[in-house]
């Protein structure tokens, strides 16, 4: 096979990165939401140069790779997940030279770069779609999307009963009377992956960015590309409750796997162990495992874990199910607590269970932070790869009191569907104690930041004993140093009181108290780290509520 990347210079950080085998099996990957990470030009919007300037912070934090949410040319109807040109950088974020410089700098620092890819749909401003609409019924370009005549006496009703994830019908009618499918916003028409031109185009897009030097792709809506033949009615009037819980004619169809087998062949042409990560909402972890078979993708997000309440019994159940599902296909488990689409876990855990992953309640801030810290140490102790969403290392809560007039989540503006409160986890992060945007940039921020942001900033927490930032830095360093942490496919559960999780991995032991009262357990060797204050006396350890402790018997 051809090798598209030049060999790195010996003894460089690039060489170290390239030569590390199976790095993705235990990688800690940090998600950057570019518009909210760092603003280099003072326009209130984060950009690629801003990300580039902050790469040393991410290296020092101790992560292995950086996943960048979309920065492609886009009208921004859904924060860049509506792509008009997959080979161009949107001017709000910079240009291709900025992307190239970011990738090069990251590699020099020993960091890998993973970029978002959005193959389920394009923007309605994509050249293909604009021409398809202009050319009218019968245009060959319409075959690259899902255009259909309507139903009803005069075609005035949608072709089927599918609903948009953002609420309302999943179909929009154009002036000539035909309808097009969009599982998300009307500005995001779905591609027809049965058409060979679509597959050809995306294999070309993969090569474009691989030639730029990226180390992998996070695949948006990886489960949605193929629709059931004939686009049959779902026959349900409460479709959103079925998402991720049942088989649906537009999600998790078996045909997606042939697409990813073809993509894997492209990826394997390139040196340096490039990877694919699937955003795949499926009914079971066993279905998720189908995406990470040896000839398909490398990782798939573990949404079952993200959606689990702070409860020892439920957490143990999803850990066991995940490890059991991944073991037969030889893929690593992934663990994640927050991302750009859900309420941050510091707020989620501050509220009663059962509210879902989008919450508009502040909850008990102190309780949420305590649980978030404990949940982080638990997550980082589990076998496999872990994902960190920007700002969670600061213990940031969701901003639940954003004025309605500043909200930009498209789901918020539709009458039904999701709550539309994703803006709360996308508020730009604070770097300094003071300033117009707490160091985010010199010109304010595109979403308003709370007054409390300064005391949660990187400046305020750096070097502060007991701060959440220093907990993350220490945890990631310990995780890298301990030979029994990182990659693996099993844990040895230990006997523990009700409400407590305890497991061993070789000479490493993790104990998490999810209950509301302190518990006393044996001290399992030398203390490595704890998410809160503990007391050790006479070979026993008193662990407060909502606390995780790490030991080693080495």
- Secondary structure percentages of the chain, helix, strand, coil, to 5: 30, 15, 50
Share of the chain above pLDDT 90, in %: 84
User: Active site residue: 194, 269, 314, 507, which one?
Assistant: 269
Which pLDDT score is estimated for 281?
A: 87
Rounded Cα distance, 476 and 489, in Å? 19
Examine the pLDDT at 4 and tell me if it is beyond 60: no
Residue 121: pLDDT band (50, 70, 90) is very high
Confirm whether 220 is a catalytic residue. Answer: yes
Question: Torsions phi, psi of 86, nearest 5?
Answer: -75, -10
Distance CA 186, CA 163 (A): 11
pLDDT at 241 over 70: no
Among residues of the chain, what percentage have pLDDT more than 70?
93
Residue 509: HSE in the Cβ half-sphere, 13 Å Cα cutoff: 16
Q: Which of 39, 49, 163, 220 is catalytic?
A: 220
Give residue 20's pLDDT band: very low, low, confident or very high (50, 70, 90).
low
- Report the alpha-carbon distance of residue 328 to residue 256 in Å, rounded: 20
Task: With cut-offs at 50, 70 and 90, classify the pLDDT of residue 6.
Answer: very low
What is the pTM (predicted TM-score) of this model? 0.93
pLDDT digits (tens, 9 = 90+) for 98-117: 999 999 999 999 999 999 99
Give the list of residues 6+ apart from residue 415 with CB closer than 8 angstroms, or none. Answer: 167, 168
Per-residue pLDDT at 300 exceeds 90: yes
At 191 the three-state DSSP class reads: strand
Q: What is the pLDDT of residue 419?
A: 59
- 64 labelled catalytic: no
Tens of pLDDT, residues 316-349: 999 999 999 999 999 999 999 999 999 999 999 9
Sign of the Cα pseudo-torsion (223, 228, 231, 232, in order): negative
Strands (E), 383-539: 385-389, 492-493, 500-505, 508-513, 519-522, 526-530, 535-537
| Residues 400-441: tens digit of each pLDDT | 888 877 877 766 666 544 456 788 999 999 999 999 899 999
**Residue 17's pLDDT is what?**
45
pLDDT band at 240 (very low <50, low <70, confident <90, very high): low
Average pLDDT over residues 64-77: 97
Q: What is the tens place of the pLDDT at every residue in 364-412?
A: 999 999 999 999 999 999 999 999 999 999 999 999 888 877 877 766 6
Is 281 or 173 the better-scoring residue by pLDDT? Answer: 173
In angstroms, the CA 359 to CA 538 distance is 43
Residue 220 has pLDDT above 60, yes or no: yes
The per-residue pLDDT for 242 is 64
- Confidence band for 254, pLDDT divided at 50, 70 and 90: very high
Indicate the burial class of 20 (C-beta count within 10 angstroms; 0-12, 13-18, 19 or more).
middle
pLDDT for 217: 98
For 514-532, what is the HEC assignment?
CCCCCEEEECCCEEEEECC
Predicted pLDDT at 418? 45
């Amino acid at each position: 096979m051809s090798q598209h990347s030049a060999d790195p210079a010996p003894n460089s950080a690039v060489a170290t990165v390239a030569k590390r085998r199976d790095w993705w099996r235990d990688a800690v990957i940090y998600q950057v939401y570019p518009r909210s990470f760092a603003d280099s030009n003072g326009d209130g919007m984060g950009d690629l140069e801003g990300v580039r300037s902050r790469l040393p912070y991410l290296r020092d934090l101790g992560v292995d790779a950086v996943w960048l949410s979309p920065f492609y040319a886009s009208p921004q109807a859904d924060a860049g997940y509506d792509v008009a040109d997959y080979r161009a950088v949107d001017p709000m974020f910079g240009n291709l030279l900025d992307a190239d410089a970011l990738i090069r700098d990251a590699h020099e620092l020993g960091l890998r770069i993973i970029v978002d890819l959005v193959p389920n749909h394009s923007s309605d401003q994509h050249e293909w779609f604009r021409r398809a609409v202009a050319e009218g019924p019968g245009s060959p370009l319409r075959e690259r999307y899902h255009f259909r005549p309507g139903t009803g006496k005069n075609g005035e009703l949608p072709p089927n009963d599918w609903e948009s994830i953002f609420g309302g019908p999943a179909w929009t009618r154009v002036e000539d009377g035909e309808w097009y499918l969009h599982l998300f916003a009307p500005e995001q028409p779905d591609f027809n992956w049965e058409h060979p031109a679509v597959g050809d185009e995306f294999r070309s897009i993969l090569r474009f960015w691989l030639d730029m030097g990226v180390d992998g792709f996070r695949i948006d809506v990886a489960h949605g590309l193929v629709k059931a033949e004939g686009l049959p009615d779902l026959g349900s009037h409460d479709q959103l409750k079925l998402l991720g819980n049942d088989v649906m004619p537009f999600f998790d169809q078996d045909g997606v796997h042939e697409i990813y087998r073809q993509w894997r062949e492209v990826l394997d042409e390139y040196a340096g162990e490039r990877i694919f990560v699937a955003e795949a909402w499926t009914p079971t972890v066993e279905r998720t495992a189908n995406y990470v078979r040896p000839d398909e993708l490398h990782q798939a997000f573990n949404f079952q874990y993200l959606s689990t309440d702070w409860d020892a019994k439920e957490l143990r159940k999803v850990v066991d199910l995940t490890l059991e599902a991944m073991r037969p296909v030889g893929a690593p488990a992934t663990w994640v607590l927050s991302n750009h689409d859900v309420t941050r876990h510091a707020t989620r855990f501050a509220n009663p269970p059962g509210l879902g992953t989008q919450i508009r309640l502040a909850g008990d801030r102190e309780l949420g932070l305590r649980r978030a810290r404990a949940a982080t140490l638990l997550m980082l102790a589990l076998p496999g790869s872990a994902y960190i969403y920007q700002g969670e290392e600061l213990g940031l809560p969701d901003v639940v009191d954003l004025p309605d007039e500043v909200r930009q989540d498209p789901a918020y503006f539709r009458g039904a569907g999701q709550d539309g409160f994703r803006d709360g986890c996308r508020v730009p992060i604070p770097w300094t104690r003071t300033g117009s945007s707490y160091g985010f940039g010199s010109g304010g921020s595109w979403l308003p930041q709370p007054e409390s942001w300064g005391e949660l900033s990187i400046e305020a927490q750096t070097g502060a004993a007991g701060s959440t930032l220093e907990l993350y830095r220490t945890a990631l360093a310990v995780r890298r140093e301990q030979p029994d942490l990182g990659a693996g496919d099993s844990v040895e559960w230990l006997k523990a009181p009700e409400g407590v999780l305890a497991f061993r991995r070789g000479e490493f032991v993790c104990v998490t108290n999810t209950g509301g009262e302190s518990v006393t357990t044996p001290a399992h060797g030398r203390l490595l780290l704890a998410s809160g204050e503990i007391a050790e006396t006479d070979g026993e350890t008193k662990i407060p509520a909502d606390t995780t402790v790490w030991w080693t018997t080495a």
